[in-house]
Amino acid sequence: MSQSIHFTKGHGTGNDFVLFADPDGTVELTPSQIAAIADRHFGVGGDGVIRAVRSRHLPEGAAALAEDESAEWFMDYHNADGSPAEMCGNGIRVFARFLIDNGLVELADGDTLSVGTRSGVRDLQRNLSGFQVDLGRWSLDGGEPLVRARNLPVARPGLGINVGNPHVVVALASEEELASADLSYIPHLDPEPTDGANVEFVVPLEPLVKDGVGRIRMRVHERGSGETLSCGTGAVAAALATRHWAGRGAPNQWIVHVPGGTVGVRMFLTEDGEHVSLSGPAELVFEGELAV
Ligand SMILES: N[C@@H](CCC[C@H](N)C(=O)O)C(=O)O
């Protein structure tokens, strides 16, 4: 029997999502239903589909509540092809905006919103650009696979970085090379990571560091969604990789230019090691009804 879903379309720097509230966890969509919603020709269209569900109604949500009992809401994130992902850096800011604008949470300036995700509980605050999210610990993970992309003259070694989800970051020689890459095809990784990876292509701006802030430009091919206008976790991975390559003295604050806008990345020390945060806008664009 078909059911009706009230959805909201939102985006963070052009990385766009279909969001809906399912507070009691009664709407279980199949991967093909999710892919149909995300389809840009036959559905609403989006890089991902996000269900807002109370953590206590999901097994992964129970793990989130065990980590932090204030994580009332769980971001149930799926890519455009219907596959689940652990984390989405743009999506979680848009998720916060969605919860607030729908009266599901209140968040005063300076307050923290804790959200359950498949990669653990993540904390957000409002800031001047929209929201800032602490993505927690990161790790060099995934080795240095050789990356080949359509239209790029040579294969280059990438750097595997995990920020809750897997990324491989590749440095290119110039802005021209970055613009010429054809990311409508999945980049070929050798060896192929077991769970796949999001692949970011980066170039430094000139100068790389201005007023103590690192500056890069990036394009991305997202696992499960294809080329997108922005990827928040990808921007974080790209800044971490560039800092790693730049070596001693490289800054802990970065601006990442993506085709859909600009996001900020900051690395900072905490009691449990270095964390990395992402800042950027979160917009809700329109609402509608959808039969699934
Ligand atoms: N666009 C997201 C990342 C979404 C998940 C990714 N495609 C994956 O499969 O890991 C972001 O803004 O971080």
Q: What is the model's pLDDT at position 23?
A: 98
On whether 15 is known to bind a ligand per the annotation, the reply is yes
124, 246: one domain: no
Note the ipTM here: 0.99
Same domain, 96 and 79: yes
Together in a domain, 17 and 90: yes
Distance from the alpha carbon of residue 23 to the mean position of ligand 1, in angstroms: 23
Nearest to 85 by CA among 239, 232, 281, 200: 232
- Percent of the chain scoring above 70 in pLDDT: 100
Same domain, 264 and 230: yes
Asked if residue 169 and residue 111 are part of one domain, the reply reads no
Q: How far is CA 274 from the centre of its chain?
A: 19
d(C-alpha 57, C-alpha 73), whole Å = 10
Q: Are residues 82 and 110 in the same domain?
A: yes
Of the candidates 37, 64, 88, 239, the residue annotated as catalytic is: 88
Residue 83's pLDDT is: 98
Structure confidence by residue, pLDDT tens digits, 142-196: 899 999 999 999 999 999 999 999 999 999 999 999 999 999 999 999 999 999 9
Q: What is the mean pLDDT of the chain?
A: 97
| Burial 169-201, CB ≥16 within 10 A → b, else e | bbbbeeeebbeebebeeebebeeebeebbbbbb
What is the whole-number distance in angstroms between the Cα of residue 82 and the centre of ligand 1?
Answer: 12
CA–centroid distance, residue 147 to ligand 1 (Å)? 19
| 142 is annotated as contributing to ligand binding | no
The domain in which residue 98 lies consists of: 4-134+281-291
User: Is residue 197 domain-shared with residue 72, that is, in the same domain?
Assistant: no
Number of residues assigned to the chain: 292
Its sign, for the CA torsion 180, 186, 188, 189, is positive
Residues 145, 122 share a domain: no
The domain that contains 163 carries what CATH number?
3.10.310.10
pTM: 0.97
Same domain, 165 and 243: yes
Q: Choose which residue among 222, 265, 278, 279 to substitute to test ligand 1 binding: the one with the highest number of ligand atoms within 8 A of its C-beta.
A: 222
At 1 the pLDDT is 66
Distance in angstroms (rounded) separating the CA atoms of residues 187 and 182: 9
Is-catalytic flag, 88?
yes
Domain count, the chain: 2
Cα Rg of the chain, angstroms: 18
CB 15 near ligand 1, within 6 Å: yes
Q: Tell whether 221 and 147 lie within a shared domain.
A: yes
The residue annotated as part of the active site, out of 231, 237, 239, 255, is 231
102 is in an annotated binding site: no
